A and B are shown apart, each in its own frame.
Chain A
């Protein structure tokens, strides 16, 4: 049993608190990804789980044991560091086998296990090399090998792929996934890369400014962001936001009125609200179509498989992705047809999703521009 339970954990460096009371539960064998912008406290949280950083307040359990006061070596975690942190004076075999050597595993068994791990991570022909003589991808594999050789209960990854080039990153992502299937140890993976996070996670934790913004399956986080921050942070190009005011049957902004059939509209009437729309959930129609918001094309970004049309609604930028070819030119007038089931409403002050407690079905809104 190696579930991880984090209860009201805080971390302060001197007087400055950088993790403000985090509560998380990770199931045994889960692959958890902690996603957030740089400086939001992801590494700090991970290092508190590892035992490399003291916990200022709160409690962390691994399995059913409180580990707050335990040394890293007593926690049964293995960690892969961002810059690999390989021992430069030891060979690949020495690096992978170091934990076993420290644990006093007899030489014969140690060599057998190192050879086996080297085969798993594809380094069997490099065992006698020094880290300095390896490529970035190979170093990454050594770091992984070093982590798996001890058969730990918990794997911790601190942005392990951020130093690799794009192609290798995709490849290593797949390998990490495969390793996880094979070893089934609880894994916590920290990254600021949303693609990495979406593709790897069973459970996605989005952090911002030392707080947890949302926990959930990647698809759920994408489709039902709990806060405006999550909506903006996940998805590329980013979600469009229109700040306005809610009325009983409509949403108004900038002197425009958008008729909204949304079960909670009445409850929030008169309050400032941000309307969030994903670029792929907008249809481009003729400028004079009924119910469409008129906009002007700024420029079109060609992505090969798709294209992003950047428009503006009288100065308010609004991006739309299209899968079909287009010959839209800058300056052209178009109409934006918002798809009612894909609108997100956030509180204008707190940034919290509105209608959060209600079921997905009922919170879907119908919309028609007026």
Chain B
């Protein structure tokens, strides 16, 4: 007979989960609590106590035109990067599923970019896309000044979007390919018998059955591009928010205001707003988008 160890005293259980609780507390609740506190007080940059100021930090942030341009930049970045990463991954997954059913090597091959740290990816992008010395420098020899993300805001945004998408395509690809391969083969065969060609089968059968996975990836990608460490790392290495704040995403602005501008209170207020924004975004997605999703 199987023997089960039963601990009568609860204390051992608490002891066992304590390390995890500590980690969660130290790295999540404590900073969040501190940010909340700072957001409602005025923090002296050189120390010397806080002063309760109510919503003043928030109104200062919300009345700042630079903040709103950062919101706009973040939105452009998040939607463009997500759209690109998902669309590309979908195309790759559909092709791999058709041509190489069961092939395992592509999976690990495509997921590698995701395993590389964002700053490392950004450094590579910086070398490749450097206007004078990078691999793309030849376009400037044809047409001087055609490509220069350090003075052209739209180009800088394109660059960070590309970089983020490149890193996330692999992640999305893996999920989409797994979802595609879990669609019973008989379903695509049935639609082939019903007269549908390959493209029609993709549109009518595969894509609808992918929607749960697609939706999951949409939430993850949008959230990551809005607040993720990758967005921060990419902007920090590639553009530092420039030129002229064109790529000053919300995550980056919090950092630069807080640690470079030493405006702790303003940065704290911004992070609270960002947190709320992400919560609202996720809620909206689950509430309205999920309804249109087919779960088997």
Contact = CB atoms under 8 A, between A and B. Distances in A.
Interface string A64-91: 0000000111000111011101111100
A98 B204 contact: yes
A83 B189 contact: no
B197 interface: yes
Interface in B276-296: 294, 296
Shortest Cβ-Cβ A-B pairs, 9 listed: A85-B186, A99-B194, A73-B195, A89-B294, A85-B190, A102-B195, A89-B208, A72-B192, A79-B193
Contacts, number: 63
Contact count band on B: 10 to 19
Interface string B199-212: 01000110011000
A188 to B, nearest CB: 13
B184 interface: yes
B294 A88 contact: yes
B193 A98 contact: no
6 contacts: A77-B193, A81-B186, A81-B190, A83-B184, A150-B194, A150-B195
Main secondary structure of the interface of B (DSSP, over half): helix
A146 interface: yes
A293 interface: no
A71 B200 CA distance: 14
Contact of A85 (B184, B196, B204, B209): B184
B191 interface: yes
Interface string A141-185: 000001000100000000000000000000000000000000000
Contacts of B197: 71, 73
Contacts of A72: 189, 192-193
A103 B195 contact: yes
B48 to A, nearest CB: 63
A87 B192 CA distance: 12
B190 A79 contact: yes
Contacts of A98: 191, 194, 196, 204
Contacts of A150: 194-195
A52 interface: yes
A334 interface: no
Given A85-B187, A89-B294, A102-B200, A73 B193 contact: yes
Nearest to A147: B193
B195 A99 contact: yes
A185 to B, nearest CB: 14
A78 B194 CA distance: 7
A102 B196 contact: yes
Interface in A41-56: 50-52
Contacts of B196: 73, 98, 102
B296 A132 contact: yes
Nearest to A146: B194
B164 to A, nearest CB: 31
Contacts of B192: 51-52, 71-73
A253 B104 CA distance: 58
A87 B187 contact: yes
B5 to A, nearest CB: 42
Given A87-B190, A87-B204, A102-B204, 19 more contacts: A52-B189, A71-B192, A73-B192, A73-B193, A73-B194, A73-B197, A78-B193, A79-B189, A81-B189, A83-B186, A85-B190, A86-B190, A87-B191, A87-B205, A89-B208, A89-B209, A98-B194, A98-B196, A146-B190
